[in-house]
Amino acid sequence: MAVGEASWPEIYTVDGVRLGVAAAGIKYENRDDLLLMEISEGSSVAGVFTQNDFCAAPVLSAKKNLSEFTPGYFIINSGNANACTGEPGDMAVEACLQAVAEAGATSSAKVLPFSTGVIGEVLPAEKVVKALPQAFASLSEENWRLAAEAIMTTDTRPKAVSRKIDIDGESITITGIAKGAGMIRPNMATMLAFIATDAKLCPQCVSSMSRVAANRSFNRITIDGDTSTNDACMLIATGKSKAGPICEPGNDNFKLLQKAITECYQSLAQQIVRDGEGATKFVSIHISCGASSEEALSVGYAIANSPLVKTALFASDPNWGRLVAAIGNAGLENLDVAGINVLLDEVLVVEKGKKAASYTEEKGQNIFNKSEFSINVSLGRGGAEETVWTSDLSHEYVTINAEYRT
């Protein structure tokens, strides 16, 4: 189940990135569950990772290697998170990195590992190593669809974005994939996302663009309020475009590329919410007139993560009392509720802290019957505004997670 029609976009290949997949049999038989990404020499790579204190062995390894070298390969598996596995998990990661390094004639320190799946089980490195020749043999610039499918776990559909922009008469390509359907409230990342561009960017600019884009996208979504042990979001810039270097923050070309990359991140983030486990609703929560960005986000997440709000969304029940209760529970200091307005799309529900005279149950029901709508809250405290995207909480979400390991 997912919100909205499934559609695979037209994909533009990124010169300097090749992708290969294989069926390693990590959790399921006869399905691709291993992805190898080859990154051309001279590229710049940056990323953001989960800040869960129980971060997985591949996260620790990827962060270390990325801090020391520009990677030439990513190795990504689904079906096993290799988190909370101690030394055996570390050894499994190292075995996989060494196998990639030997096959790719590089150093294991130039390979970044990523895993997603069940926590607490050691990655079966022998299965990964055995499948690597197949992954190397299938390397191609065209394999974005296969790559997106290989990293899926409870996702119901692959997620991708691809676009071209023009800078000084030359084309720049941005293409990315992501996976994620549950355990989603990222803290500096999403479940797994890999975005590549052929733009010429120095490492510092790639890092800056990555942080800005992630903060405006993957850090603005929540499905269930949980942050995974394995979240990672990587940005690759191969420099293969004919467009000149874009390394002057603040100039028009830099702003144009940042905007395009951020929009691609946002597309992937919203696709994750639309495919939330058991999701039947896609809801944009827009908070305006906050005293600060932080308090606007706190209100947005208080609404988005409230089980009572989320179950009302699933039931298509316009119980707006749950919205105001969540706002009041966000912890804002000296909140004057008389300054608060709440709208469902364009329907005014709460005006100056009380039920709007123009509101009717029928109007609210018409909005809640939609599969997509917005909740708009004006706090009346300042000029800050933020948007958070979320989904509902359904019977199917409980079933999926109750049976996740069976």
Tell me, yes or no, whether 216 lies in a domain: yes
Tell me, yes or no, whether 7 lies in a domain: no
Residues 214 and 79 in one domain: yes
Give the active site residues: 190
Spatial distance between the Cα atoms of 274 and 281, rounded to a whole number of angstroms: 7
- Give the structural domain span for 336: 282-402
Residues 135 and 164 in one domain: yes
Query: Which of 148-157, 180-189, 217-226, 230-239 is predicted with the least confidence, judged by mean pLDDT?
Result: 180-189
What does the pLDDT look like over 375-397, one tens digit per residue?
999 999 999 999 999 998 878 77
pLDDT bin (cut points 50, 70, 90) of residue 189 is very low
Q: At what angle do helices 57-68 and 86-104 cross, to 10 degrees?
A: 50
Residues 80 and 119 in one domain: yes
Residue 157 is predicted with a pLDDT of 92
Residues 251 and 341 in one domain: no
Number of domains observed in the structure of the chain: 2
Residues 289 and 385 in one domain: yes
Reply yes or no on whether the pLDDT at 9 is more than 80. Answer: yes
What does the pLDDT look like over 229-253, one tens digit per residue?
788 999 999 999 999 999 888 899 9
Among the candidates 274, 303, 336, a domain finishes at: 274
Take residue 341 and report the two structure tokens written for it: 């307005």
Reply yes or no on whether the pLDDT at 277 is more than 90. Answer: no
Residues 212 and 302 in one domain: no
% of the chain surpassing 70 pLDDT: 95
Query: For residue 96, what are the contacts with CB-CB under 8 A and spacing of at least 6?
Result: 75, 113, 123, 125, 128, 129
Among the candidates 274, 292, 308, a domain finishes at: 274
Tell me, yes or no, whether 12 lies in a domain: no
Spatial distance between the Cα atoms of 279 and 154, rounded to a whole number of angstroms: 12
What does the pLDDT look like over 74-114, one tens digit per residue?
999 999 999 999 999 999 999 999 999 999 999 999 999 99
CATH number of the domain encompassing residue 373: 3.10.20.340
Tell me, yes or no, whether 8 lies in a domain: no
